[in-house]
Amino acid sequence: MARKSWIQREKKKKKLEQKYHLIRRYLKKEISKVKLLNDEQWKKIHGKLQSPPRNSSPTRLRRRCFVTGRARSNYRDFGLSRHTLREMVNRCLLPGVTRSSW
């Protein structure tokens, strides 16, 4: 089980990311329209893009298991960590998943 403080921190980052998502997307579109890299307009837009908090960036988010909160070895299709996935497959709680054994 992950620490509760880590899980709360991730929730806070998710909220920030959603808050600044549209602003980021708009500024990135504006930057793509500007042709010259040394242009003053580009520098102005780039400065605005740097102004939101760091934790509002989507790359700072981690996928976590929604049952245990484990951050590592998550399966995107299920949203579960490998430990939880194995337990659920053994109990036949996930339809369509077959266990492999050899």
Q: Is the domain of 83 the same as that of 58?
A: no
Q: Is residue 102 part of a domain?
A: no
Q: Is residue 79 part of a domain?
A: yes
Report whether 69 contacts 2 (CB < 8 A): yes
Owning domain of residue 73: 63-97
Domain count, the chain: 2
Q: Is the domain of 57 the same as that of 18?
A: yes
Nearest Cα residue to 11 out of 76, 55, 67: 55
* Partners of residue 80 on adjacent β-strands: 75
CA angle 39, 40, 46 (to 5 degrees): 95
Q: Is the domain of 38 the same as that of 51?
A: yes
Number of H helices, E strands in the chain: 3, 2
pTM: 0.71
Q: Is residue 87 part of a domain?
A: yes
Q: How would you write the pLDDT of the chain (102 residues) with one tens digit per residue? A: 678 888 899 899 999 999 999 999 999 998 888 877 678 888 889 899 999 999 999 999 999 998 988 999 999 999 999 999 999 998 989 888 887 776
